[in-house]
Structure 1
Amino acid sequence: MESQSYQGYNLWGHAILQQADILQPERYAASGTITRHNKLVEASGILGCFDTEEQAQHAGLDWARAWVDSHG
């Protein structure tokens, strides 16, 4: 999980390990969460699957920043 502060909100990018079969390479589902004053503001569903944990976390943060920009 990666976090950052943005325009008064705390943003979280999540990477959720997705491995249906042990013989397949690891993939990570991305999601994002937005909080303010320790209260949940908004959470995404699954935003897509990525090859690395870092890519998934960044996708979650990108979604969260876009949400703040469109609701600010």
Structure 2
Amino acid sequence: MRTERYREYTLWGHAILQQEDILRPEQFVGSGTITRDTKVIAVSGVLGAFGTDDEAALAGLAWCRAWVDNHG
């Protein structure tokens, strides 16, 4: 998970391990959560599958920044 402050919001980029078969490479799904103070403002769904946890978390943060830019 990665977090950052953006404008007056806290953004959370999540990476969730998805491994259906032990013989297949690890995959991570990404998602994002936006909070302001202690309240959840918006949550993405699954944003896609990624090869690394870092890529998944960064996709979550990108979704959050786009949401804030369009709604903030």
TM-score normalised according to structure 2 size: 0.99
- What is the identity, as a one-letter code, of the residue corresponding to 2:24? Q
For the aligned residue pairs, the C-alpha RMSD in angstroms reads 0.4
C-alpha separation in 1, matches of 2:57 and 2:69? 19
5 Å-filtered alignment, 1:1-72, equals 1-72=1-72
Gaps of 5+ in 1: none
TM-score normalised according to structure 1 size: 0.99
Q: How high is the sequence identity, in percent, across the aligned residues?
A: 58
Give the CA deviation at 1:38: 1.0
SS of the residue 2:65 aligns to: helix
Which aligned segments of 4 or more residues in structure 1 are displaced greater than 4 angstroms? none
SS of the residue 1:67 aligns to: helix
Aligned residues: 72
- What is the identity, as a one-letter code, of the residue corresponding to 1:5? R
